[in-house]
Amino acid sequence: MSTIKQFQVTFDCAEPERLARFWCEVLGYVVPPAPKGFATWADYDRSLPPEQQGGGFACVAPTGVGPRLYFQRVPEGKVVKNRLHLDVRVGTGLRGEERVAALEAECARLMALGAKRVRLLLADDHNESCLVMQDIEGNEFCLD
pLDDT tens digits along 47-101: 999 999 999 999 999 998 899 999 999 988 888 878 888 999 999 999 999 999 9
Tens-digit pLDDT profile for residues 121-132: 998 888 899 999
Residues 14 and 66 in one domain: yes
**Domain C-terminal end among 73, 105, 128:** 73
Residues paired with 69 in a beta bridge: 9, 59
Please indicate, yes or no, whether residues 52 and 98 belong to a single structural domain of this protein: no
For residue 25, what are the domain limits? 8-73
| pLDDT tens profile 33-62 | 999 999 999 999 999 999 999 999 999 999
pLDDT confidence tier of residue 116, bands split at 50, 70 and 90 = very high
Domain for residue 100, yes or no?
yes
Q: Is 21 domain-assigned?
A: yes
pTM (2 d.p.):
0.88
Identity of the amino acid at 130: C
What is the tally of structural domains in the chain? 2
Instruction: Give residues with Cβ within 8 angstroms of 48, minimum separation 6.
Output: 55
> Are 14 and 54 in the same domain?
yes
Backbone angles phi, psi at 85, to 5 degrees: -145, 160
